[in-house]
Amino acid sequence: MDPGRVPTVYIETYGCQMNVADTELVLGHLAAHGYRRTTGPDTADVILLNTCAIREHAEERVIGRLGELARYKRRRPGVRLGVTGCMAQHLRERLRERAPHVDLLVGPDAYRRLPELLAAGNVDPHVALRLDPEETYADLPVARGAGVRAWVTVMRGCDRFCTFCIVPYVRGRERSLPGPVLLDQVRALAAAGVREVVFLGQTVNAYHDGSWDFADLVRHAARVPGILRIRFTSPHPSDMSERLIDAMAECATVAPQLHLPVQSGSDRVLTRMQREYRAAEYESLVARLRARVAGIALSTDVIVGFPGEDEADFAATEALMRRVHYDSAFLFKYSPREGTRAFRWGDPVPDDEKARRLERLVGLQETISAEINRGLVGSEVEVLVEGPARRPAGWMAGKSREMKTVVFPGPATAGALVRVRVESATSHTLSGAAATG
């Protein structure tokens, strides 16, 4: 590469919102060291895949993509190809064996070293995979994308060790960023025109910086001028304190919406998952939330086919979903993750049975979501406008306070709050017209 030219970097992101936030962190850090982001791999000097180790078939997808991207190295030998994130941490040896053209393997706690590793030259793969219990990246710049919503990582790692989850092994133990640093980030986002902040953490409500717990952080952030809404994801039910519920109820800026993973409605399965609560405790928490936070919308995660789950366990999950009546749900078939405790138990539930159970829950949730949304027809909802809808032409789209997608005829300005009278609804979208008067 010409030493006088500004080096360019291209990143593809796989997985959860935590990974998206990490990509913004990496881009900000590299920009501070003279790199410029480019939108495609064909002109990039550095190509990075920021990866996830949680979803099924993620490994094959990433290795296949690395094979495709290797052609840029063949055409331009100076190109550096790297894998960052959870998969680099989890599958280091397999990646080195199956993708020998990769120059860098960098885990979630080693992004700080990327400029140093890239400057080291195009030699054997550079590996930076040590977990660092102190690393929070609190001092690094973040290159956030444009939009009315921004994600702010408030803590890293996880101490829960659910038996199905690889996260504690690839992201390390919990550590929280200092509250004042986070408030400075929120103020800067407000000044930049961001109107909604989403706090991120693997178990976000376990946040504690030594002085503030998560309820304190939420209350402080709710007072930042210019921020219209605050959300957070994903909390653990066992960390859902009364102080946090009070903060949600008492701070008008905190949206009445919560993603509250349950994973199973069977106490037997929850015990094997090491979830630390039972179905009755979870439903008691739901009742307290609904009593304190008016109109709260709830979503969840559910895994079907966990090792040992029988028909009675599945029936308990289905019954819980009927009772709780979630606004939406993310539903998954169990897939083993090497390195977790559950991996040792095999995968005894046949895939076709897992598919049957999943299809049944998907159908149930679609019905419930449609019923809840149809109940909103004729009412008005407050919409934070995000931009043009995908269709029809001339319509705008945004989110209600309850995190429901709303579309309505324009014009409207991104970042504005618009009251929309709901005229029709599906299980996924509300449609209407801007209210007048």
Cβ pair 186, 145 in contact under 8 A: no
> How do beta strands 257-259 and 297-304 pair?
parallel
Integer angstrom CA distances of residue 419 from 377, 399, 435: 14, 11, 6
Residue 105 is encoded by which pair of tokens?
Answer: 């393997």
Residue 152 is encoded by which pair of tokens?
Answer: 């702010």
pLDDT at 16: 85
Distance CA 229, CA 269 (A): 36
> How do beta strands 36-37 and 8-13 pair?
parallel
pTM of the model: 0.95
Residues 6+ apart with CB under 8 A from 417: 228, 382, 383, 384, 385
- Total length of the chain: 437
Measure CA 389 to chain center.
Answer: 23
pLDDT at 90: 87
Distance CA 358, CA 309 (A): 13
Distance CA 234, CA 154 (A): 12
H helices within 206-350, ranges in order? 214-222, 242-250, 267-273, 279-292, 311-324
C-alpha closest to that of 196 among 432, 413, 408, 417: 417
3-state secondary structure of 54: coil
Conformational region of residue 215, where left means phi above 0, alpha means psi within -120 to 50, and beta covers everything else: alpha
Residues 6+ apart with CB under 8 A from 250: none
H helices within 338-424, ranges in order? 351-374
pLDDT at 289: 98
Integer angstrom CA distances of residue 423 from 175, 192, 250, 388: 46, 34, 30, 19
Residue 192: count of CB within 10 angstroms of its CB: 11
Integer angstrom CA distances of residue 407 from 236, 285, 369, 402: 31, 32, 17, 14
Cβ pair 95, 83 in contact under 8 A: yes
Cβ pair 49, 12 in contact under 8 A: yes
pLDDT at 127: 87
Cβ pair 135, 171 in contact under 8 A: no
C-alpha closest to that of 18 among 235, 234, 200: 200
Which domains are delineated in the chain? 8-128 (3.40.50.12160), 144-255 (3.30.750.210), 258-374 (3.30.750.200), 380-434 (2.40.50.140)
pLDDT at 125: 65
- Give the E-state strand segments of 41-192 in sequence order: 46-51, 80-85, 104-106, 126-128, 149-153, 155-156, 175-176
The reply to whether omega before 141 is within 30° of 0 (cis) is: no
Each residue's pLDDT, cut to its tens digit, for the chain (437 residues) gives 556 679 999 999 998 899 999 999 999 999 999 999 999 999 999 999 999 877 667 788 899 999 999 999 999 989 999 999 999 988 888 888 888 889 999 999 999 999 999 988 765 667 889 999 999 999 999 999 889 999 999 999 999 999 999 999 999 999 999 999 999 999 999 999 999 999 999 999 999 999 999 999 999 999 999 999 999 999 999 999 999 999 999 999 999 999 999 999 999 999 999 999 999 999 999 999 999 999 999 999 999 999 999 999 999 999 999 999 999 999 999 999 999 999 999 999 999 999 999 999 999 999 999 999 999 999 999 999 999 999 899 999 999 999 999 999 999 999 999 999 999 999 999 999 999 86
Measure CA 418 to chain center.
Answer: 26
End-to-end CA distance of the chain: give it in Å, rounded. 61
- Give the E-state strand segments of 272-341 in sequence order: 297-304, 328-333
Distance CA 404, CA 393 (A): 20
Residue 48 is encoded by which pair of tokens?
Answer: 């990075």
Distance CA 140, CA 77 (A): 30
